[in-house]
Amino acid sequence: MAIVLTICGQKGGTGKSVVAVNLAASLALYEKKVLLIDADPSGCSTEWIGIDNAGQGHDLVSVFTGKTRFPDAIVKTRLRWLDVLPAGFDLFQSALKLSDRVSNQIILRLLIQEDAPSSYDYIIIDAPSSYGFLSIMAMASADWLIVPVCPQHGAAADFHCLLILIRYIRKNHKIPLKIGGFVCNRCNDPSAVDDIQTFAGPKKSFQAADLVYDTHIPWDLAVEKSIEKKTPLALYDIKSPAGSAFLNFAKEIHKIFT
């Protein structure tokens, strides 16, 4: 059964879509069968992985509306082991209709459990930066959350909001959701990881440092160029600093979750 990882965080600018796309592509290079689900109306993951979904009519919205079966909406990529379930801005309108019922927050989780092909080792979900329906839906679909953080973005307040959402999902949907870890993104100085301060709960008992991955992703111009080319780093420049880091991150993820 696939391990479902949602790349999330309520603050924009931490590079969630970059992490989602390149973690998925790097796992695929290790011949792990991966499905990347784009749950963000901006469609960044869909675009950056190299999928032009305009006019195809097979995407996450068509699955939600019952027009397309889950397996039929999946699109192949240039990487043999990586598939994508695309998204577009119409996902925003669909979310408005679905958000009137709390029970709909687990619609993607149910679809994954019931209809996703069993051949996948990993399902990676790119969640939007928000506190709205789509963000909660993406989180509620996961076994584990992976949270990109940037040392220059104060993350303490974001972390406490994330904990509130996790508690909400656990309470309302009886889902044992957990944080899989924090990955330091756009970070050229390894010592900057220390700037991801201790995120303490009311009893000062939780040490976020215990959940920080060993791998940190450096800022790298190759990332921006790969986005322009709509190509993951695994295909654009695997030997670049960020490309190599994502390979190490994929290896670390696989070691932890299997």
Dist CA 154 CA 180 (whole Å): 20
Residue 59 has phi, psi (to 5 degrees) of -160, -170
Domain range summary for the chain, segments of one domain joined by +: 3-257
Question: Beta partners for 244?
Answer: none
Residue-wise pLDDT for 171-224, tens only, equals 999 999 999 999 999 887 666 555 454 444 444 444 555 688 999 999 999 999
Residue-wise pLDDT for 36-91, tens only, equals 999 999 999 999 999 876 546 689 999 999 999 999 999 999 999 999 999 988 89
Q: What SS3 state is found at 183?
A: strand
CATH of domain 3-257: 3.40.50.300
Contact (CB, 8 A) for 137 and 94: no
- Tell me the whole-structure pTM to 2 decimals: 0.92
Q: What is the amino acid identity at position 89?
A: F
